Structure 1
Amino acid sequence: MQRYILDDTTNNFYKTDIHHIKKVMRMQTGDKVIVCLHEKCSLVKLNIDENITFDVIENYDENKTLDITLVQGLLKGTKIETTIKYSTIFGAKKIVLVPFERSIAKNKNTDNKTDRYFLIAKEAAELAHREKIPTIEFQDSLKTINWKEYDYVILADEEEKKTLLKDLELKNIFDKKIAIIIGPEGGISDNERKYCKNNKFFSISLGKYIFPAEIAAISILNNFNSWFFWQLNNYNI
């Protein structure tokens, strides 16, 4: 069934969705869709005229998810769009784009990029049946990020050879905020590695093989998702 994540400032459909409902899907009054607002989803019946309203048929149970932020080093070309799409599908609630010392891409035309990246994230969230579109923001460097808002910060470091995600003793993460740092093509610099170490961030390896920077986050997000799903089913969290 078609799913739409509503604009949480107006509590209604985005303009692009109104066009999609009327012109692409050619829906009629009485057709049913799923709408999500403030991370809660409902089955609704549409009322279509000049505007689109809806009547709620059934409210679904709230889906428990982890609060994970991806801090991604800027990437060349459209690679960052791949990162946004798949990190959204795999459960990132926030994506922070940051130029690293080895980043070739720079923070330019961020307003235009933000609009495009939002649409990519929205489409990915609806495709994956997520309840929320991740927030996307730009930062000037690692040092401008407010790390105090996170309970755990995890750096994927190609120079770390032993410690894996499963080796970390992360306690009670269901109510914690987690940040994952992924560098750009070429990885992180010694200065950035030292900065992370000085801030007592966790450093982990993603395993034996090196992943392209645009999809490296998938490995961590998927491991978190699998572990969380197992916890939900075995401990009735």
Structure 2
Amino acid sequence: MPRIYIPNISVKENQISIAGDNAKYLVSVLRCKKGDELIVFDGEGNSLRTEILKADRKEVIADVIGKVPCDIESPINLILVLGLLKGQKMDMVIQKATELGVKEIMPVITERCQSRETRKVGRWRKIAEEASRQCGRTMIPFIHEPVDYVQFLGKVCQLRFGEIIGLIFWEEGELSVKDAFHKISSSQIARFSVLPIYILIGPEGGFTKEEVSLAEAKGFIVSSLGKRILRAETAAISAVVLIQFLLGALD
């Protein structure tokens, strides 16, 4: 069934009016017509099943049939913190992280970042929107504005008080992901569906030793993804999958 993202869905007399580019997309690309059913979601967890009453390139009017129950969202509040990557690598990680259920993506500028482009947030948010629509999610991960790495660490000092869980992945880390989880308190693990879990992945070239030490001082657990040195985009996707697997979120 076709799906369309409409922020702040407005229902009047049990109908939804869809205009502009969304109407053009539904009619010209998805070939929607009168009588077809359509899922409308708002990116915040709400999804409606509708039937199209009118369809043209200027406006699509749909009658609301009812709410769509959805259990597709990951139970983990996973936040990916990623050193800025150059070219289309950032686009790819945002797309795949969205498909895998990440709740937020925070680009950071580290010492070894080869790209310091900070004007692509609109593009990245559009990629997350399209990925959410394609994979069936009802929520769209929030893409933050890029910030300096040290500035980011300053905002998460509450790690010291056990309010969030943090892992930083480094090629020289001595702990496997599984062993790193053994260092997390049982009370934190029991609340994994509530506590934010931050995953820190470096850019091309990885984190410097000083950057890892700064994160460790804030309470992040240093881990590795094995003996092989992975590309940054591979590391990001692998870490997201492994953590969800260990917490049973892929069942």
TM-score range, shorter chain: 0.7 to 0.9
Q: Which range is displaced more, 127-136 or 43-52? A: 43-52
Q: Please, which runs of 5 or more residues in structure 1 have no aligned partner? A: none
Aligned to 1:5: 5
**Separation (CA, whole Å) in 2 of partners of 1:30 and 1:43:** 13
- 1:33-182 matches, within 5 Å, as 33-37=38-42, 38-48=44-54, 50-63=58-71, 64-65=73-74, 66-108=76-118, 110=119, 113-145=120-152, 146-147=155-156, 148=158, 151-165=164-178, 167-168=180-181, 169=184, 170-182=189-201
Normalised TM-score (structure 1): 0.85
Query: Aligned pair count?
Result: 229
| 8 Å contact from structure 2 (residues 81, 106) kept in 1 | yes
| 8 Å contact from structure 1 (residues 82, 215) kept in 2 | no
| Aligned partner letter, 1:20 | Y
CA 1:24–1:157 in structure 2 vs 1: closer, same or farther (change >3 Å)? same
Q: Which range is displaced more, 116-125 or 159-168? A: 159-168
Larger radius of gyration: 2
| Aligned partner letter, 1:114 | V
3-state SS of the aligned residue for 2:200?
Answer: strand
Q: Which range is displaced more, 52-61 or 169-178? A: 52-61
| Aligned partner letter, 1:28 | K
Aligned to 1:20: 25
| Aligned partner letter, 1:33 | L
**Separation (CA, whole Å) in 2 of partners of 1:9 and 1:160:** 46
Normalised TM-score (structure 2): 0.81
| Aligned partner letter, 2:25 | H
Offset of 1:151 from its aligned partner? 0.9
CA 1:132–1:80 in structure 2 vs 1: closer, same or farther (change >3 Å)? same
Give identity over the alignment, percent. 27
**Separation (CA, whole Å) in 1 of partners of 2:211 and 2:19:** 39
**Separation (CA, whole Å) in 2 of partners of 1:224 and 1:34:** 30
The superposition leaves residues 41-78 of structure 1 with CA deviations (integer Å, 9 ceiling, x where unpaired) of 23211233543332222323242522111111011111
| Aligned partner letter, 2:190 | K
| 8 Å contact from structure 1 (residues 163, 203) kept in 2 | no
| Aligned partner letter, 1:118 | R
| Aligned partner letter, 1:45 | E
CA 1:14–1:185 in structure 2 vs 1: closer, same or farther (change >3 Å)? farther
1:198 equivalent to 2:227? Answer: no
Q: Please, which runs of 5 or more residues in structure 2 have no aligned partner? A: none
3-state SS of the aligned residue for 2:238?
Answer: helix
CA RMSD of aligned residues (A): 2.5
Offset of 1:165 from its aligned partner? 4.0
